[in-house]
Structure 1
Amino acid sequence: MTTFSHSQERQIDSLLAKYGESHLNHTNEVIHFICIPAIVFSFLGMIWALHPLAAVAVTVVSLLYYFRLSVPFAIGMLLMSGIMLWILSVLPQAQVLKVSLAVFVVAWIGQFIGHKIEGKKPSFFDDLRFLLIGPLFVLSFLYRRFRIAY
């Protein structure tokens, strides 16, 4: 990754740093690595239950935001979202809403437990954009592990 002075810092770096301030506890991070993808999947599933094209549209809109922040992250989110949408497409339609609601509730309970352990409130309470940054926070760990620049 390129080093930037504070005035030249990319928006994605700034957002990830701010998000990371309330995600320093290892247990909270592990919870987030499990729960954030589960929340994304269940959110897409709830929308899919309304209409599959609506889930695709929400995915496209979020990808446009991600492309503005970072092309490598957008590609990662495209892959992740594509897999999630494919899974939703092969699930029995009658089960999608039930499964999605259950996963959504359990994953959010996990998130709040993680923040209780951390001792800090979730970032999205201050800025709703962090609901979209959470998946990138998780992806950033994977990218760093595999030395993929973002």
Structure 2
Amino acid sequence: MKTLDQWFEEYAVSHQNPKNKAIHYICVPAIFFSIVGLLMSIPSSSIAQLTNLNVPFIENWAGVVLIFVLLFYLRLSVMMAVRIAVFSLLCLIANFYIGQLVPLWMFSVGLFAVAWIGQFYGHNIEGKKPSFLKDIQFLMIGPAWVLQNLFSKKHIQ
């Protein structure tokens, strides 16, 4: 099993161009955010029937899926799992309020599409294919890579 640093090293190979990196810093979190919104948009009455639990954070599909997402990160790094958990919680809260203003699924589909266009534009600038075409797990590494880069000591100073 690869370590998180090994994943980051391999991911960084196709993310060297400063413009592509800047695009990723915006689009990767936007894609994660939009997926949370899409999952929150799925009717959740079936969750209550499946689980027969009354647990607040598992009241929609986003909560259920995010538990498995956090398990993925937890096996790589406890600190990264905590960072992703905080970001996930912020996504859940923000999507809840967006859903009070507009149809959440429509907003999420639009954001998802725009963010992916941005991603592919960034890779066009980079001149390299997206990493997830090599290994689908890179779709999970992208958000961690962005968090790691945005909050590394070199960016905080």
Q: Where does residue 108 of structure 1 map in the other structure?
A: 116
Instruction: Give the alignment's TM-score, normalised by structure 2.
Output: 0.84
Root-mean-square deviation (CA, aligned residues, Å) is: 1.9
Q: Where does residue 70 of structure 2 map in the other structure?
A: 63
DSSP-derived class of the 1:127 partner: coil
Within 2, Cα distance between the matches of 1:139 and 1:11?
Answer: 16
Q: Where does residue 99 of structure 1 map in the other structure?
A: 107
Within 1, Cα distance between the matches of 2:153 and 2:95?
Answer: 28
Instruction: Report runs of 4+ in structure 1 exceeding 6 Å deviation.
Output: none
Within 1, Cα distance between the matches of 2:86 and 2:154?
Answer: 16
2:28–2:115 Cα contact (<8 Å) kept: yes
Q: Give 5+ residue unaligned stretches, structure 2.
A: 45-58
Within 2, Cα distance between the matches of 1:115 and 1:103?
Answer: 18
Within 1, Cα distance between the matches of 2:117 and 2:87?
Answer: 23
Matched, 1:24 2:16: yes
Match of 1:48 among 24, 31, 40: 40
**Residue 42 of structure 1: how far off its partner (Å):** 0.4
**Residue 87 of structure 1: how far off its partner (Å):** 1.0
Within 2, Cα distance between the matches of 1:132 and 1:60?
Answer: 13
Q: Give 5+ residue unaligned stretches, structure 1.
A: 1-8
1:83-121, CA deviations, whole angstroms, 9 ceiling, x for partnerless residues? 000111222355100100000000000000000000000
**Residue 147 of structure 1: how far off its partner (Å):** 8.7
